[in-house]
Amino acid sequence: MPRQTKPARRCAPQQVDLFPAEPQTTTGGMPAWSGLPTEIQAALTNLMTRLILEHADKNRIGSIAEAGHDL
């Protein structure tokens, strides 16, 4: 007799609201953005900006290389 298995139950992904109308203490064990020290907020903002710009730059370079094949 074949063994029957239950499908894995997956939770829907959740979007974290960094700037909620009402301050929250934690979200899933993570401190609220407003609860972080100003220095930490600035450092995280700087790191995220660098990450986004580096990612965008890599995509731009990839697009240029791909466009060169069309010439």
Q: What is the mean pLDDT of the chain?
A: 75
Q: What is the pLDDT of residue 32?
A: 79
CB 25 within 8 A of CB 35: yes
pTM above 0.85, yes or no: no
CB 15 within 8 A of CB 26: no
Q: Residue 49's Cα: distance from chain center in Å?
A: 12
What confidence tens digit (pLDDT) does each residue in 39-68 have?
999 999 999 999 999 988 877 766 555 655
Residues 6+ apart with CB under 8 A from 36: 44
CB 24 within 8 A of CB 32: yes
